[in-house]
Amino acid sequence: MGMGSKLEGPSTPANRRDPYEVLSVSRDSSDQEIKTAYRKLALKYHPDKNASNPEASELFKEVAYSYSILSDPEKRRQYDSAGFEALDADSMDMEIDLSNLGTVNTMFAALFSKLGVPIKTTISANVLEEALNGTVTVRPLPIGTSVSGKVEKQCAHFFGVTINEEQAESGIVIRVTSTAQSKFKLLYFEQDANGGYGLALQEDSEKTGKVTSAGMYFLHFQVYRMDSTMNALAMAKDPEGAFFKRLEGLQPCEVSELKPGTHIFAVYGDNFFKTASYTIEAVCAKSYEDTTQKLKDIEAQILRKRNELRQFEAEYRKALARYQEVTERYAKEKQSVDELLKQRDGIHSSFTIVKSTNVSGTASNLSNGSSSKVSGDESKGDSPGEDGGSDGKDKSAKKKWFNLNLKGSDKRLI
C-alpha cells in the first residue's frame, strides 16, 4: 500500500490517470515489478523530500492511489475488467508514514490501533534513502545464530546474512519475535547497481500467542503470508460474511529463494511512541525438512479450503436470501391467520338474540324498576293514614337495632 500522511486513506486525484501509466509499468507486469516502480516514485515524490514543492505532493498522492489499485489483486482485476467505475475508492485503505505525522495524529493512530482499527504504516523516507545511498550500518547475522536488540521508532537495524551454495539450496528462514509484543517490520533489501540497497520485501509483525512475530521463508516453493488488514476491513464492511474473507488475506510472497552470497535484512521500529524490542534469527531449513514439508502441506490445504469457502459463500448467500424470504412470509402468514381467526370469532358472536345494545337497556330497566319501588314506598309513607304506623315501625326497628347494647346497660342501671 502507499505511503502518506493522512489517516483517512488515499485521496482520489481530480483527474485520474491509468495507474499503469502513472507507475510506468505494463499491464502484464509482475507484482514485484509494480512494487519496485512504486518504491522509486514514492521516494522521489515523498513530502519529506519536497516540502517546498506542492506539485510533488500531488504526484505522490497519484502514485500512492495508483499503487493502492495495482498492489491489490482483486482491485487490479476489477480495474482491468471495467476501469475506475468498478472500484469503490472509499473502501481503499492506505499506509501512513508515522514520521510525517504530528503528535496529535500519532496519538489518534495509536488509539485506533489499540481499538482494532486496521492502520497500516509505511517506512520512513529517511530510512529508505539511507539504504539507497548505502550509508547504513550492516551487522553480520551468521546462519544458526540470533541477535536481540531495541530499535527506535521509525528507525531500522540492518543485518547481513551470508549463505553458501548448500544453504541456499536447502532454504533459508529469517524470523523476528518480540516477547514485549512490540510492533515492527521485517525488511529485505536487494543490492542496487550503485551499491545501495532497494527495498524488495516487507512483513508486518503479527500477534501470535503472547509474542509478536514476522518471518520470511525462502524454501524454493511458493510460500504465503497473511495480510490481517484485509480481514479487518472485511469485518468492518460485512461482519456476517467476514468469515468467508478470512483466508483472502493469504497472499503469495514475491521471493521464494535466495542465491548464495550476502543478503540484507532489517528490523524497523513500528511502535507509535516507544522503542521496539526484538530478537532476529537466521535458520537453514536443512535441519527442518519435516517442518518444511508440513508448511508446504498445510498451506496447500488452506488454499483448497479458500476455494471451497468461495463456493460455499455463494450457497450460503443463496440460503440466507431464501431464509430472509421465508421469514418475511412467516410474519405475513402469521398476521393473516390472526386476522382470519379474529373475523371467525366475530362471526361466531353474531349468532345470538341478545344484542349488546339490549343488554345495557335491560340493566337500565332494572335500575328504573328499583327506583320506582323506592318511590312507591316513599309515597306510602307520605299518606296521612299510615303516618303513625310508619313512624312506629321505624322506632321499633331502631329499638331492635339498639337492643343488643341497651338492654344490658338498662340492667346495670337498675
User: Which string of b and e fits 340-349 if b means at least 16 CB within 10 Å?
Assistant: eeeeeeeeee
Residue 321 counted as domain residue: no
- Clarify whether residues 145 and 276 are in a common domain: yes
Residue 379 counted as domain residue: no
- Cell of residue 220, nine digits: 524454493
- Clarify whether residues 181 and 267 are in a common domain: yes
- Clarify whether residues 169 and 260 are in a common domain: yes
- Clarify whether residues 55 and 156 are in a common domain: no
Query: Closest by alpha carbon to 226, among 236, 215, 218, 237?
Result: 215
What total of structural domains would you count in the chain?
2
Distances (CA, A) of 155 to 56, 98, 99, 129: 24, 11, 10, 12
Domain boundary among 227, 261, 288: 288
Query: Given this model, what pLDDT does residue 179 score?
Result: 95
Residue 381 counted as domain residue: no
Residue 175 counted as domain residue: yes
- Clarify whether residues 133 and 281 are in a common domain: yes
Contact 295, 175 (CB under 8 A): no
Q: pLDDT under 70 in the chain at which residues?
A: 1-14, 86-121, 229-237, 272, 355-414
For residue 376, give every residue at least 6 positions away whose Cβ sits within 8 Å of its Cβ, in sequence order, or none: none
Residue 200 counted as domain residue: yes
Residue 226 counted as domain residue: yes
- Clarify whether residues 199 and 264 are in a common domain: yes
- Clarify whether residues 164 and 273 are in a common domain: yes
Query: Given this model, what pLDDT does residue 3 score?
Result: 34
Q: Could you report the per-residue pLDDT of 287-316, keeping only the tens digit for each?
A: 899 999 999 999 999 999 999 998 998 898
Query: Given this model, what pLDDT does residue 64 score?
Result: 83
In this structure, what CATH number is given to the domain that contains residue 51?
Answer: 1.10.287.110
- Clarify whether residues 117 and 132 are in a common domain: no
- Clarify whether residues 140 and 51 are in a common domain: no
- Clarify whether residues 42 and 188 are in a common domain: no
Residue 59 counted as domain residue: yes
Range of the domain at 234: 125-239+252-288
Query: Given this model, what pLDDT does residue 294 score?
Result: 95
Query: Closest by alpha carbon to 38, among 15, 14, 8, 10?
Result: 10
The neighbouring-strand residues paired with 201 are: 188
Residue 280 counted as domain residue: yes
- Clarify whether residues 145 and 260 are in a common domain: yes
Domain boundary among 63, 98, 121: 121
What's 8's DSSP letter?
A: S
- Clarify whether residues 140 and 219 are in a common domain: yes
d(CA 302, CA 127): 36
